[in-house]
Structure 1
């Protein structure tokens, strides 16, 4: 068979069916997955299912437990500290997303540098703090916030602004905001790496074409850079939702949820109920609820209908 120009037509490639693809996989590949599934079932699925089941009990490990049905969930509905912890979590999430502006600006400035050596030096300096353990960061900021010997209050006093000195993590009015700023300026993290790697992989010709068309730096950001990062921003948003729901480590080290539960978050509330209140059944209820909230929000973020990310340059 030939085309209109006399050239032979190439038949379209035949796609293998799913059954044919499965027949091409060696049987031992499936067998090799069995130990992994057993380990996951033992150390991941069983604890999760066990926790859900025990949320319906007045659970006393090593002692007699009593089935209480939905009583634990009824108690949760009236738990003001639990619901206040979700409000604090909302502040943490919004602040964390807004803070992406700083690593985004840093990534934009970094790709502006022409020399590879200059980019390497500044990139290294910006991401080195990622190597510091989180507990070190938390302890350093706790010292900085100390009301008497903290660096922040000492610096304010040194420049004549001693009246601004506060008990930053000991005052309910300032504790949550102080916790939010731990780690400032928020450059050394996953958002910076994603923004920078995305912009770095954009062909230089696109930026040069925008410059030839008279596109300014700010307009190029909105018309070129941001659309090219749409997929990465959605990924970061999904990770931020999951990460915020699991937030608790930094709050535990810096404020322990206080003062007066001003920095309480769901994970800390669950830990306090279990280890301080010794109410393990109710703690399992809080854990199950947090798991369901995480599951639902993850499903919404992943499956909500959204436009396909475009890599086209628009508005030039």
Structure 2
């Protein structure tokens, strides 16, 4: 009887076994492999020499590695600042009384999400071209030739040029999160705020943002993870240059593996990057869970 009951309880879990196997093979195994091979002078396909913590000691003395985290910090802060644009777009959109116009404008704003990222990066690369690029051509047309420069080829402008890719930063996931959160706020709350004399800015700070705090935490989690995984645009436009001005941890790890063929060291870098990302994500998740638990306790 007990065995029959146990089988009935396990039966619903059986369809999940293929999914668990796939996730384990393509997600967990590479991560565990990085930790294992970080202790070796790893040569894929041939012999490997155990070196213990030597790769991690080398990392501590790697100036480029630590500089890449400085760039990552700039990218993270910039990503948070750009939340202003999708938030304002969502605020303006919910004020439209016509549902038809709301749908039309929302569609126009999220369509860019369907564009391949490499296409967007290459288009911006054309904008930045020092000889035929749109930016330098416009500066020449208005008599500001002195401001022309090699936007992605100068250490002084390369990083900010990468950050501006995608301007005005309205379309995409942040806009959808803000719009869905604001759209789910009952209209009666907005009407009550208006009766209390709150203007648009007052309502934004005292009503809208507190009521979408959950969405803000989700976005913060996604920005943290996305920042640590940043590297695609930099790889397409600058490959981490010039003079490591746009290097980020992901790019430096890839270069150590595929350019320098220093696979064991690259495994150590990837293991550290994975650990740091997991730690930041866990802090945000635990904080969110704690606040949710306190809210549930307050309601009880």
The alignment's TM-score, normalised by the length of structure 1, stands at 0.87
Tell me the CA shift for residue 222 of structure 1: 1.1
Question: Aligned match of 1:177 in 139, 156, 160?
Answer: 160
**Larger mean Cα displacement after TM superposition, 231-240 or 200-209:** 200-209
Tell me the CA shift for residue 186 of structure 1: 0.5
Q: Which residue of structure 2 lines up, in the alignment, with residue 261 of structure 1?
A: 244
Establish whether residue 227 from structure 1 lines up as the match of residue 227 from structure 2. Answer: no
Question: Aligned match of 1:192 in 165, 168, 175?
Answer: 175
Tell me the CA shift for residue 108 of structure 1: 0.6
Question: Aligned match of 1:237 in 217, 220, 223?
Answer: 220
After superposition, the Cα gap between the structure-2 partners of 1:200 and 1:29, relative to the gap in structure 1 and judged at 3 Å, is same
1:277-316 paired onto structure 2 within 5 Å: 277-304=260-287, 307-308=291-292
Tell me the CA shift for residue 170 of structure 1: 0.3
Tell me the CA shift for residue 276 of structure 1: 0.5
Gaps of 5+ in 2: 296-300
Gaps of 5+ in 1: 1-21, 312-316
Q: Which of the pair has more CA radius of gyration?
A: 1
After superposition, the Cα gap between the structure-2 partners of 1:207 and 1:304, relative to the gap in structure 1 and judged at 3 Å, is closer
1:49-86, Cα deviation, whole Å (9 max, x unpaired): 12211100000111111101111111111111111001
The alignment's TM-score, normalised by the length of structure 2, stands at 0.92
Question: Aligned match of 2:36 in 35, 53, 59?
Answer: 53
Question: Aligned match of 2:60 in 77, 80, 84?
Answer: 77
Tell me the CA shift for residue 24 of structure 1: 11
1:104-127, Cα deviation, whole Å (9 max, x unpaired): 011111111111111112112211
Tell me the CA shift for residue 25 of structure 1: 6.2
Q: Which residue of structure 1 lines up, in the alignment, with residue 298 of structure 2?
A: none
After superposition, the Cα gap between the structure-2 partners of 1:25 and 1:246, relative to the gap in structure 1 and judged at 3 Å, is farther
Bigger helix share:
2
1:217-250, Cα deviation, whole Å (9 max, x unpaired): 1111111111111111111111110110011111
Tell me the CA shift for residue 46 of structure 1: 2.0
Q: Which residue of structure 1 lines up, in the alignment, with residue 92 of structure 2?
A: 109
Question: Aligned match of 1:149 in 132, 138, 150?
Answer: 132
Tell me the CA shift for residue 214 of structure 1: 2.0
